[in-house]
Amino acid sequence: MTGKDILIEQKIGKIPAYYSEPETGSSIGVIVISAIFGVDDDTKKICDQLAGSGYPGLALNMFWQDEVDTGPLSGSDHERAKARSVRVNRKDGNSYIESAISELKSYKSCNGKIVIFGFCYGGPYVVEAAANLGIDGGITFHGSYIEKFLPEFENISCPMEFHYGDNDAIAPMAAIEQVKAECDRRENRELFMYSGGEHGYMFPNRGAGYHAEAAELSWKRALNFLGRI
């Protein structure tokens, strides 16, 4: 397993990303869309864990064109991270993901299938990619504001999973229930709830917000999902 920083060719420049590759073989490629804090240590670790399980993982820097903050930010920089997240044009963001899909598919480590993992801010991008970019599956972990993207569900044919804690201030139960209602109406959609899980429960560097039990079970389910694609 090797992890490294890479650049992805895009029509307006080169997008920074982190890529971790399994030692051998060819399997499903996983693109990771991070939280508002960017491609930080937690995000890189997710790519490394994927590679350790046999899946090439690529984390895309969605903030590479920001005029103020292009790199990873810490939890103490929440307001800066939140501010830059709204400065990303969604059309541009989806074009970054489209470029990442093409890039990852070109690697020998990828068998041509693509699944996208979206954390927090990255959640809605998973929904949009599933609806419009022909991916083979998508998983969101404590996805932010997915309820605003429910009309996209009509155009999704690939399997999807949604993982939420039941104590999420950004994705409250009222929002989760909207997503669950849409999942219940369709095939290949599953929503999992984790007691005591807060927003960002998957990230060890989130301090008290990290929920080890929920994170481990979510990851186990995510790997099982990949095994079914």
Please compute the mean of the pLDDT values over residues 154-159 and round it to a whole number: 96
- Which backbone phi and psi does 75 adopt, to 5 degrees? -60, -30
DSSP per position, 82-131: HHHHTTS-HHHHHHHHHHHHHHHHTSTTEEEEEEEEEEGGGHHHHHHHHH
Bridge partners for 46 per DSSP: none
pLDDT tens digits for range 10-67: 988 999 999 999 999 999 999 999 999 999 999 999 999 999 999 999 999 999 999 9
> What pTM does this model have?
0.96
CA 174 to CA 2: how far, in whole Å? 41
pLDDT tens digits for range 127-137: 999 999 999 99
Bridge partners for 18 per DSSP: 5, 59
CA 51 to CA 136: how far, in whole Å? 18
User: In the prediction, which pLDDT does 75 show?
Assistant: 83
User: In the prediction, which pLDDT does 51 show?
Assistant: 97
Look up the CATH architecture of domain 2-228: 3-Layer(aba) Sandwich (3.40)
Taking every pair of Cα atoms in the chain, the longest distance, rounded to a whole number of angstroms, is 44
β strands within the chain, DSSP E: 2-10, 13-21, 27-33, 57-60, 110-119, 137-141, 160-165, 189-194
Contacts of 102 (CB under 8 A, 6+ apart): none
Contacts of 6 (CB under 8 A, 6+ apart): 16, 17, 18, 19, 58
User: In the prediction, which pLDDT does 41 show?
Assistant: 95
User: In the prediction, which pLDDT does 208 show?
Assistant: 74
Q: Where are the domains of the chain?
A: 2-228
pLDDT tens digits for range 187-216: 999 999 999 999 999 999 877 789 999 999
pLDDT tens digits for range 92-121: 999 999 999 999 999 999 999 999 999 999
